[in-house]
């Protein structure tokens, strides 16, 4: 079902840079599926609003190649089985000129064989290692990481700072969680860590108290969790009720959902001490040109659009997808997927999420995933997260704004 097929010509009607009528009637179509319902809709809805802001911005300046930009969007319902059919329709029926991948690894992986077979350019949307096996030369990700192992290493480096020797792993039985948990397992030996607990759980798990009791009995010094929004919230609540013992010096890792405004507000002080990955937070080292102006405009629209109020996680990077495509199209004066892919491989991308270059598999050549620690978080207070100091960056060193503190010390 098409949820939102926006006629971008309307935005151009008020523009002084109106293109010729023939071109205005022939928009450049950017096709994608993105979760508007289901468990990933929190990220999907906010990401779509960011892309709509980009579309309006670029159309207000005259579009691309003198043509307006139109988003052709389908709801994939957070269901990986829907995405191959959607992208087949986008290519064969809608005749999309450019493609953006679904949000997340689970939904992008089923699309990769199709885009490689058709030799199409695909802009990734926060997937992890989706191209690691297929190695399609026209895939380029917006997320600030390079691989699961590199992302895991950044977390494991923090365990070293706290003198950790033992670790417990708790991961959802789903693509993203298993990929990043695999990266952690690969890095244990070189970090001198011993795994004392390693448990996968079905994605529909709602009660984690028994798992945390079993984990606590092993007395780990670190706990790595890879989870999705609903289970991330359930784990934090179980953590608050059951505890994990005084041995734990660092808890968190790859908990999707703890970046969302509604979850941060509802969990409040229960988040204190948790260390988790993130993409952007309002710390001084994250002041990339244009990002705060974008977020101000996004936040002004967020309430009416009923999406994530702060928009720190996905929106700057989905806006960046548009900037990346626009940069490549404007520089090459082309929509040819081969020409655009060659440009993306060879040039620096300039975006509100920072400037970067792509590596051989279409991931960032120099990853910039950050790990934040919740500190001094109050209950029922959204505004506290608008300023620095509540999600301090504890790694990597280039973006660090505070030292990591032992979990057991903060929770005491």
Question: Using CB atoms within 10 A of its CB, is residue 319 exposed (0-12), middle (13-18) or buried (19+)?
Answer: buried
CB-based contact 97:28 (threshold 8 Å): yes
Regarding predicted confidence, which is higher, 16 or 92?
A: 92
Q: Find residue 382's DSSP bridge partners.
A: none
CA distance 143 to 369: 8
The pLDDT value given to residue 150 = 84
Strands in 139-141's sheet, in edge-to-edge order, are 2-5, 69-74, 28-33, 98-103, 122-125, 139-141
pLDDT at 87: 98
Q: How far is the C-alpha of 185 from the C-alpha of 37, rounded, in Å?
A: 33
Q: Distance between CA 167 and CA 247 in Å, rounded?
A: 10
pLDDT, residue 4, reads: 45
Q: Are 261 and 382 in contact (CB under 8 A)?
A: yes
Classify residue 379 by its DSSP letter. Answer: S
* Residue 309 to residue 384: CA distance in whole angstroms: 13
Q: Omega before 353 cis (within 30°)?
A: no
Confidence of residue 5 (pLDDT cuts 50, 70, 90): very low
pLDDT tens digits, 66-80: 999 999 999 999 999
Q: What is the mean pLDDT of residues 141-150?
A: 90
Distance of CA 404 to the CA centre of its chain: 23
8-31: per-residue pLDDT in tens?
A: 333 333 333 333 444 556 999 999
Tokens of 239: 């953590």
Instruction: State the pLDDT at residue 17.
Output: 35
**Percent of all residues in the chain with a pLDDT value above 90, rounded to a whole number:** 85
The string of DSSP letters for 60-108 reads HTT-BTTB-EEEEEE--TT-GGGHHHHHHHHHHTS--SEEEEEESHHHH
Tokens of 370: 């950050």
Read off the pLDDT of residues 379-394 as tens digits, 9 standing for 90 and up.
999 999 999 999 999 9
Q: 98 CB contacts (<8 Å, ≥6 apart)?
A: 28, 29, 30, 31, 121, 123, 325, 335, 340
pLDDT of residue 24: 54
Q: Report whether 313 contacts 278 (CB < 8 A).
A: yes
Asked if 18 and 66 touch (Cβ cutoff 8 Å), the reply is: no
Mean of the pLDDT values across residues 327-356?
A: 98
Instruction: State the DSSP string of 124-189.
Output: EES-SSTTTTT--TTEEE-SS-S-HHHHHHHHHHHHHHTT--EEEEEEESSHHHHHHHHHHHHHTT
Q: Which among 101, 98, 103, 84 has a CA at the least distance from the CA of 37? A: 103
**Looking at the predicted structure, is the pLDDT value of residue 180 above 60?**
yes
- Kindly indicate the confidence band of residue 129, based on its pLDDT and cuts at 50, 70 and 90: confident
Structure tokens at 147: 């691989």
Mean of all residue pLDDT scores within the chain: 92
Average pLDDT score over residue span 345-366: 96
Q: How far is CA 117 from CA 108, 136, 145, 362, in A?
A: 15, 9, 25, 17
Cβ pair 24, 12 in contact under 8 A:
yes
Q: Do the Cβ atoms of 99 and 90 come closer than 8 Å?
A: yes
Model confidence band, residue 175 (pLDDT cutoffs 50, 70, 90): confident
Tell me the pTM.
0.88
């Amino acid at each position: 079902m098409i949820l939102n097929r926006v006629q971008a010509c309307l935005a151009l009607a008020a523009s002084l840079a109106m293109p010729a009528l023939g071109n205005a009637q022939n928009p450049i179509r950017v096709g994608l599926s993105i979760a508007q319902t289901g468990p990933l809709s929190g990220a999907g809805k906010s990401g779509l609003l960011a892309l709509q802001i980009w579309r309006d911005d670029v159309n207000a300046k005259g579009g691309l190649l003198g043509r307006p930009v139109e988003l052709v969007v389908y709801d994939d319902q957070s269901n990986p089985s829907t995405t191959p059919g959607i992208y087949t329709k986008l290519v064969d029926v809608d005749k999309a000129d450019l493609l953006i991948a679904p949000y997340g690894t689970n939904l992008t992986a089923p699309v990769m064989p199709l885009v490689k077979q058709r030799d199409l350019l695909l802009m990734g949307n926060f997937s992890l290692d989706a191209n690691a096996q297929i190695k399609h030369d026209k895939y380029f990700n917006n997320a600030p990481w390079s691989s699961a192992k590199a992302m895991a290493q950044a977390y494991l480096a923090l365990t070293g700072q706290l003198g950790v020797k033992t670790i417990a792993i708790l991961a959802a039985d789903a693509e993203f969680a298993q990929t990043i948990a695999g990266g952690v397992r690969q890095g244990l030996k070189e970090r001198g860590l011993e795994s004392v607990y390693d448990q996968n759980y079905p994605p529909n798990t709602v009660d984690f108290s028994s798992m945390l009791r079993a984990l606590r009995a092993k007395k780990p010094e670190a706990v790595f969790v890879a989870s999705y929004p609903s289970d991330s919230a359930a784990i934090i609540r179980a953590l608050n009720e059951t505890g994990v013992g005084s041995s734990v010096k660092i808890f968190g890792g790859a908990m999707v959902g703890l970046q969302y405004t509604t979850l941060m507000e509802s969990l409040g002080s229960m988040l204190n001490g948790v260390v988790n990955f993130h993409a952007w937070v309002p710390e001084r080292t994250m002041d990339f040109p244009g990002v705060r102006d974008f977020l101000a405009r996004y936040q002004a629209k967020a309430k009416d659009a009923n999406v994530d109020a702060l928009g720190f996680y996905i929106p700057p990077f989905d806006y960046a997808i548009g900037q990346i495509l626009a940069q490549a199209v404007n520089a090459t004066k082309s929509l040819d997927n081969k020409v655009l892919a060659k440009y993306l491989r060879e040039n620096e991308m300039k975006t509100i999420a920072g400037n970067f270059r792509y590596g051989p598999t279409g991931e960032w050549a120099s990853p910039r995933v950050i790990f934040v620690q919740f500190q001094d978080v109050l209950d029922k207070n959204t505004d506290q997260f608008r300023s620095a100091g509540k999600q301090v960056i504890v790694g990597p060193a280039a973006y660090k704004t505070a030292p990591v503190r032992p979990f057991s010390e903060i929770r005491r």
